[in-house]
């Protein structure tokens, strides 16, 4: 039996029937990581010993029938999610040796469910970037073609799932960091409604935008992981305390009569023709199943990127103030007094993209510029949210491309921040509006790179987002996983 090819739900059945153990599953993934990791660099830290111990505990839970849907299924975690005593570096020199004294709430949920953790995945430094090229530990490669980026910032998590190094992974999405790498690596990635998943213990980038979410090979597997992590948390003041459905159960709802919005602002000059074709095919698949396709407008979408890069940098300049060499992380040796120590610590510990963001954000918040930049950005953010509110009176879900193009090559955009920021042109609106969005594979380009389609839904309407995705997946069929020569 090829364990790596089995879906999480197939593994569940085999585990329940006693035909396989969690230890065997974890060992198969460890072997695969050992073989492929020298090529991919998806991980910053590997935790195989703990994973095998967790697997034994999971096998015991299964024997005692105290297990749940994901017990015994291994997972990889983005390295900005705190893990007790296991390095959590944010792929930064600043936190190179940082071991948190506690688990993030999502990690607690994963441990309680008996999911063995294979390791911590590579990312753009402090989640700032779209290619993993800003990682202090070197970039992750795209398993479809090693010359191409896997996207970012959660590029390690995405590559690990696409390359069968892990069946599931968690990432974070502030402006597209789950959906864009999911699109570039041909898998499913979800950014949940703001407040659906706890941010407690997740190193903050821009707190009003950050959300944790799942990566999986298929819609159903992503729904199973979302059900596990979407829990109210009293330790996160923005956590929503509403009833949570079982997302796995919501998939089969048919799309007959579903009103699907196609916003003209997302089909613009610069959109790759093959990407457009694939997205239109996904829309057509829904129409063929009885959905009603509606042309809609989201008129402020062209302001989203500028708004995002003010709000996100402003919040990051404040959030990253804590890295001063006093409480945790890197401390400069060059410390003649405390002010020099702060300065040198930050100059040595942060990479160039993080410094650029802190400076931009500090500028946008400074007296004299606050009204012109930050306050104005908040007003435009409201207009973007109102565009969606209006659209969702006419439609149930919205379909767009996830990214304007397929994956790009290493070095292509890293010297040009604006070109890099443009990779997020279709993903930031959902973060600004706080609403859920999912990316799923919609086909392959002529040079054999995955194309992603994005489904956006109203606040807390994850169920209709998932059932729409499931219908598209059934109609289009799978693009498969990359053949990675090892
Ligand atoms: N790529 C975007 C940025 O650089 C989004 C990052 C994210 O979602 N964490 O800010």
pLDDT in tens, 111-138: 999 999 999 999 999 999 999 999 999 9
Q: What is the tens place of the pLDDT at every residue in 340-362?
A: 999 999 999 999 999 999 999 99
Expressed as residue numbers, the domain containing 461 is 3-257+398-476
Residue 264, in any domain of the structure = no
pLDDT number for residue 335: 87
Are residue 314 and residue 414 in the same domain, yes or no? no
pLDDT number for residue 268: 86
139 lines ligand 1 (CB under 6 A): no
Are residue 126 and residue 241 in the same domain, yes or no? yes
153 lines ligand 1 (CB under 6 A): yes
What percent of the chain is modeled with pLDDT above 90?
A: 96
Backbone torsions φ then ψ of 440, nearest 5 degrees:
-140, 160
* Nearest alpha carbon, ligand 1 atom 4: 129
Among 134, 171, 173, 174, name the best residue to mutate to test ligand 1's pocket (greatest count of ligand atoms within 8 A of Cβ): 174
pLDDT number for residue 381: 98
Q: Which DSSP category does 301 fall into?
A: G
Residue 321, in any domain of the structure = yes
Are residue 332 and residue 416 in the same domain, yes or no? no
* Nearest alpha carbon, ligand 1 atom 10: 128
Distance 286 CA to ligand 1 centre (A): 30
Listed residues 345, 378, 411: the one ending a domain: 378
**Ligand 1 atom nearest to 357, measured from its CA:** 10
Q: How far apart (Å, rounded) are the C-alpha atoms in residues 83 and 99?
A: 8
Are residue 202 and residue 312 in the same domain, yes or no? no
For residue 316, what pLDDT band results from cuts at 50, 70 and 90?
very high
127 lines ligand 1 (CB under 6 A): yes
**Residue 438 β-bridge partners:** 190, 455
Are residue 154 and residue 16 in the same domain, yes or no? yes
Listed residues 378, 406, 434: the one ending a domain: 378
* Cis geometry, peptide bond prior to residue 153 (ω within 30 degrees of 0): yes
Residue 482, in any domain of the structure = no
Tokens of 159: 């590559």
Are residue 373 and residue 424 in the same domain, yes or no? no
How many other CB atoms sit within 10 Å of the CB of residue 35?
A: 13
For residue 402, what pLDDT band results from cuts at 50, 70 and 90?
very high
424 lines ligand 1 (CB under 6 A): yes
Q: Please, are residues 270 and 404 in contact by the beta-carbon 8 Å criterion?
A: yes
Distance 281 CA to ligand 1 centre (A): 28
Are residue 346 and residue 429 in the same domain, yes or no? no
pLDDT number for residue 166: 98
Distance 319 CA to ligand 1 centre (A): 15
Q: E-assigned strands of 32-94? A: 43-46, 75-78
Are residue 120 and residue 179 in the same domain, yes or no? yes
CA angle 430, 432, 438 (to 5 degrees): 15
Q: Model's pTM, two decimal places? A: 0.98
**Ligand 1 atom nearest to 431, measured from its CA:** 8
Distance 150 CA to ligand 1 centre (A): 14
Among 129, 194, 209, 413, name the best residue to mutate to test ligand 1's pocket (greatest count of ligand atoms within 8 A of Cβ): 129
For residue 154, what pLDDT band results from cuts at 50, 70 and 90?
very high
For residue 331, what pLDDT band results from cuts at 50, 70 and 90?
very high
For residue 219, what pLDDT band results from cuts at 50, 70 and 90?
very high
Distance 252 CA to ligand 1 centre (A): 32
Q: How far apart (Å, rounded) are the C-alpha atoms in residues 177 and 213?
A: 10
Neighbour-count burial for 336-362, b at 16+ CB within 10 Å, e otherwise: eeeeebbebbbeebbbebbeebbebbb
Residue 269, in any domain of the structure = no
Are residue 356 and residue 406 in the same domain, yes or no? no
Residue 107, in any domain of the structure = yes
Residue 93, in any domain of the structure = yes
Q: What is the tens place of the pLDDT at every residue in 37-90?
A: 999 999 999 999 999 999 999 999 999 999 999 999 999 999 999 999 999 999
Q: Please, are residues 197 and 227 in contact by the beta-carbon 8 Å criterion?
A: no
Among 183, 306, 312, name the best residue to mutate to test ligand 1's pocket (greatest count of ligand atoms within 8 A of Cβ): 312
Q: What is the tens place of the pLDDT at every residue in 410-423?
A: 999 999 998 899 88
Listed residues 333, 350, 378: the one ending a domain: 378
154 lines ligand 1 (CB under 6 A): no
pLDDT number for residue 436: 98
171: helix, coil or strand?
strand
Tokens of 145: 């073609």
Distance 128 CA to ligand 1 centre (A): 5
Are residue 349 and residue 453 in the same domain, yes or no? no
**Ligand 1 atom nearest to 308, measured from its CA:** 10
Q: How far apart (Å, rounded) are the C-alpha atoms in residues 391 and 313?
A: 28
For residue 334, what pLDDT band results from cuts at 50, 70 and 90?
confident
126: helix, coil or strand?
helix
* CA dihedral sign of residues 364, 366, 372, 377: positive
Residue 292, in any domain of the structure = no
177 lines ligand 1 (CB under 6 A): yes
Distance 182 CA to ligand 1 centre (A): 13
Are residue 208 and residue 248 in the same domain, yes or no? yes
Tokens of 373: 């930049």
Tokens of 389: 């509110």
* Domain CATH for 411: 3.90.1300.10
130 lines ligand 1 (CB under 6 A): yes
Are residue 171 and residue 63 in the same domain, yes or no? yes
Split into its structural domains, the chain has a count of 2
Active site residues: 78, 153, 177
176 lines ligand 1 (CB under 6 A): yes
Which residue is it, tokens 């950050």? 210
174 lines ligand 1 (CB under 6 A): yes
Tokens of 60: 């015991």
Residue 212, in any domain of the structure = yes
């Amino acid at each position: 039996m090829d364990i790596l090819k089995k879906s999480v739900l197939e593994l569940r059945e085999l585990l329940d029937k006693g035909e396989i153990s969690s230890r065997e599953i974890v060992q198969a993934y460890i072997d695969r990581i050992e073989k492929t990791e020298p090529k991919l660099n998806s991980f910053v830290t590997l935790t195989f010993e703990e994973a095998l111990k967790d697997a034994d505990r999971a096998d015991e839970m299964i024997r005692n029938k105290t297990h749940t849907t994901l017990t015994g299924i291994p997972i990889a975690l983005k390295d900005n999610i705190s893990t007790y005593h296991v390095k959590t570096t944010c792929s930064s020199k600043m936190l190179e040796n940082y071991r948190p004294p506690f688990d993030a709430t999502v990690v607690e949920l994963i441990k309680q469910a008996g999911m063995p953790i294979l390791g911590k995945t590579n990312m753009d430094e402090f989640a700032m970037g779209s290619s993993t090229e800003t990682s202090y530990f070197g970039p992750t490669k795209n398993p479809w073609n090693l010359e191409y980026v896997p996207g970012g910032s959660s590029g390690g998590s995405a590559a690990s799932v696409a390359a069968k190094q892990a069946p599931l992974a968690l990432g974070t999405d502030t402006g597209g960091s789950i959906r864009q790498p999911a699109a570039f690596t041909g898998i499913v990635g979800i950014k949940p409604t703001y407040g659906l998943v706890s941010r407690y213990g997740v190193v903050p980038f821009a707190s009003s935008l950050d959300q944790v979410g799942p990566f999986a090979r298929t819609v159903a597997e992503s729904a199973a992981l979302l059900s596990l992590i979407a829990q109210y948390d009293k330790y996160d003041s923005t956590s929503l305390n509403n009833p949570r459905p079982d997302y796995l159960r919501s998939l089969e709802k048919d799309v007959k009569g579903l009103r699907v919005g196609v916003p003209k602002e997302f089909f613009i000059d610069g959109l790759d023709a093959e990407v457009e074709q694939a997205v239109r095919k996904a829309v057509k698949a829904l129409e063929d199943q009885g959905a009603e396709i509606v042309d809609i407008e989201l008129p402020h979408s062209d302001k989203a990127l500028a708004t995002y890069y003010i709000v996100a940098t402003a919040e990051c300049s404040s959030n990253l103030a804590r890295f001063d060499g006093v409480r945790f992380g890197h401390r400069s040796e060059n410390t003649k007094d405390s002010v020099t120590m702060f300065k040198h610590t930050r100059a040595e510990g942060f990479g160039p993209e993080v410094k650029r963001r802190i400076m931009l954000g500090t500028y946008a918040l400074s007296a004299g510029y606050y009204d012109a930049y930050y306050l104005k950005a908040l007003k435009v953010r409201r207009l973007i949210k109102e565009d969606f509110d209006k659209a969702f009176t006419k439609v149930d879900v919205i379909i767009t491309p996830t990214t304007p193009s397929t994956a790009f090559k290493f070095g292509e955009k890293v010297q040009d921040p604006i070109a890099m920021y443009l990779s997020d042109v279709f993903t930031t609106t959902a973060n600004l509006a706080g609403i859920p969005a999912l990316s799923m594979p919609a086909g392959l380009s002529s040079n054999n790179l995955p194309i992603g389609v994005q489904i956006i839904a109203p606040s807390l309407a994850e169920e209709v987002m998932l059932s729409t995705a499931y219908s598209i997946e059934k109609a289009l069929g799978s693009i498969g996983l990359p053949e990675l020569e090892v």
